Chain A
Amino acid sequence: MLSAAAFLLGDDVQRFAVRFTVAFAIAYGAWLLGNWAHFAAVTPAEEAKFGISWSFRLTNEGGFIVALLAGLVIANFFPAFAAWLKAAIRPELYIKIAIVILGAFIAVTVAGKLTLASSVMLRGVAAIVEAYLIYWPVVYLVARKGFGFSREWSAPLASGVSICGVAAAIATGGAIRARPQVPVLVSSLVVIFAVIEVLILPIIAQAFMAHEPLVAAAWMGLAVKTDGAAIAAGGITQSLIEAKAAAEGVHYQSGWILSVTATVKVFIDIFIGVWAFILAYVWTNYVNPRPGAPKAKAVEIWERFPKFILGFIVTFAIALALSLGAGTDASGRLTGAVGEVNLLRVIFFVLTFFSIGVMSDFRRLWQDGLGKLAAVYIVSLFGFVIWVGFVISWLFFAGIKPPLAS
């Protein structure tokens, strides 16, 4: 299937197949290692079950972190191997397949609690406002006035920090007619900082927000950039918080934390096309009007719309309709079927983590010039975006708890 996707994307299928096989073997091996009981067992009962006396209690989602670390080792210590693997390193493709599958999982999870789910979705609107209308202008202002960046650099940088990382930086670069290298360099920074966020924020969430699981979930969606990293952070946060709650005797119905993170992220993604069009209109008509140069057209909204969202909506709608129309027996079978498909989602998550790691060559940060770009990113992300994200998540999601497992 992936070879077919590679063919449709214009890749050399044979080269992709060979390198993907190697990448998959390493990533899945790392995932298996992360599921070793000494890493993954959480409760004393699990430790007793596996006959061990200690564990890092990382849950089985710790396997994602091991996959990420494997990728980081390759990127930073074996750059020639990382370059060889490059044809199979496609985190955006893998996470988008995972998100489409996630649509069915979310539908089955929320089918019995539609009131709560619709309320959560309504609160997701705040994320759109926050990303586009609060984060973006502030980061753009910081880049332009605080660091003296040109407009060509500041706009993709603001979109990368504020919206959803790589896709937004590239869409904005195209919209303002920036040189292709600009969004690419911004994207490399986005990926590197997303890795740092994935490693840190879920642990902070578990330590300080275990009693507000959906605040933590929304925070991951708002603070962690790139779809892959955000949803992966949601998955890790879910495992860590559910494990901590379970240790206190509270058993949440699994899936809600990840669902909220994914909802927030998808809501933000929906408007990339609209925002890119607004920027294109402003740039081609006012900021950088060139006689004879093509102006922004409304069709760009559709061209820049992330099409995987359609896949997400379709799987969500089909699974929700089937869940609501099914009897008890059929509903149980449907949940089982979605659970089977969910294993595929996990595999694509593992591939996403590994790919993000392979793309994160930290030596880039030491390159001349990138340090200044990184400084804007650090100031904006750690000085503003994650804190405002936390406050807004708290205002809209505090007190809302996932349903308890029956």
Chain B
Amino acid sequence: MKKITILFILLLFVLQSKAQNIVAVEKAVDYWDAGTGIPVGTYLKDINNLFAPYVGTWKGTINNKTYTFFITKITESSNGRIVDKLIIYHTIFDHTVGYIIEDSRIGKARPHITGRFFQKNLAYYVLTYIGQNSKCGRNGEVFIKKASATTMLLKLSAYGEVGDVRRCPGGQKEVQVLPTESFVTLTKQ
């Protein structure tokens, strides 16, 4: 009886130990490369505090537009996976027209820019962009990169995928409002 009890306790211990698998968040790209996705029971955790330098408010101007990005670290839990990631709320002030042309903080407030993974060499953190009226082409990947302790670079690689252009304003694909040709240099506020 004593042996059975001990075995039972050991079994409980083993099962408990296997309940989760903590993996460094910079390994997320490996799951992407393998094409397998994140296994159930995995916690992609920012154990090396890679996100810390990005968290905060960043501001910069390019192409007559002033960008303000509010970057936060979140821990997201879904379908048995837990993932640390960065999310970005933002505003874009267009000096040509004199008002904010995209603001992810109002209305059905939601982050338009959501973290995916660090590249293997940690050069860039890659995020998904689902902009305002994304079905008309404002979608793609955002790359961010620390340039110094107080500056950061950001650029959009646009997918430009459109559901049905006839249903878009003026029957036209939306023009990208994030910088696509070159990086905007952002300064920490």
Q: Do A and B bind each other?
A: no
